[in-house]
Amino acid sequence: MKLKFLGTGAAEGIPNFGCTCVRCQLARKEKGPNSRRRASLLVEAADQRLLLDVPPEISQQLNHAEVYDLTAILLSHEHHDHIGGLIEFEFWQQVLPVFAGYDVLTKLLLTPRFKKRALLSGFQAQTRLHFGDLTVMPFKVIHHVSCYGFVIESDGARLVHFTDSDFKLSNLHRSLIRDADVVIFHTPTYEEHRHHLSVENVIALAKDWSLKQTVITHINHHNLSHEELEEKLAPEGIIVAYDGLVLEI
């Protein structure tokens, strides 16, 4: 299974337009790993290609990554940074299957042209979806709106993608990540955050549960720089994602 991080920024992306903080000014000047488009992940296995979430700049992300076909889109929740690019697919060249929780489907703003292009399907937590040899099991994460993470398995490899999750994790979450080859967490800030795991939370989790491979993404302009994050997380064996990172499981 191949994971391509198309975007790794949190809700505002970095630079956040209109913001003149040090982090945003640096991102404008230097680009590189400190410049982060909003979070989106492409998962490829055999001839299947799934896109997890569609931020507002998704067309730029897919053009940049030279992606011209998708098996399906999977949506985690209704927040703008995760679904804001959906109607961009009005202009997609093929019919496009789109999956979201039944309670998320009702929140999507759709246009007539998009509806002609998309095949919309609802899912429930803990129900498996099959795409060739690749299986996806959505599960609920704790967030301030209904939100789903995904367990994705192919050829014996298991990815657990937590999307925007509170730091409170359930026993179900524990059992899902125990045998995962890679676990991805969304960590906007380094220190405590109201609705999300922080980088500090993830360092503790990875240690307490002896996670095999942990990756952080969905990073905002109040967080440390990419280099500072790498310096703190490399000794813990945690990968700091950046736009364009590719990982093989």
Q: Which candidate, 87, 64, 71, 79, places its Cα nearest to that of 4?
A: 64
Q: Find the shortest distance in angstroms from Cβ 46 to Zn ion.
A: 29
Question: Which CB atom, from 164 or from 243, has the smaller least distance to Zn ion?
Answer: 164
Question: Which CB atom, from 149 or from 152, has the smaller least distance to Zn ion?
Answer: 149
Side by side, which strands form the sheet with 118-123?
A: 118-123, 96-101, 72-74, 48-52, 40-45, 2-7, 246-248
Q: Find the shortest distance in angstroms from Cβ 168 to Zn ion.
A: 15
Question: Which CB atom, from 9 or from 158, has the smaller least distance to Zn ion?
Answer: 9
Q: Find the shortest distance in angstroms from Cβ 15 to Zn ion.
A: 6
Q: For CA atoms 111, 112, 113, 114, give the dihedral sign.
A: positive
* Residues lying near Zn ion in the complex (CB under 5 A): 11, 16, 19, 21, 24, 79, 81, 164, 221
Question: Which CB atom, from 81 or from 243, has the smaller least distance to Zn ion?
Answer: 81
User: In this structure, are residues 97 and 119 in contact, taking their beta carbons and an 8 Å threshold?
Assistant: yes
Q: Find the shortest distance in angstroms from Cβ 84 to Zn ion.
A: 10
Question: Which CB atom, from 24 or from 129, has the smaller least distance to Zn ion?
Answer: 24
Q: Which candidate, 238, 187, 245, 231, places its Cα nearest to that of 209?
A: 238
Q: Find the shortest distance in angstroms from Cβ 126 to Zn ion.
A: 21
240 sits in the region (left: phi over 0; alpha: psi -120 to 50; else beta) called: beta
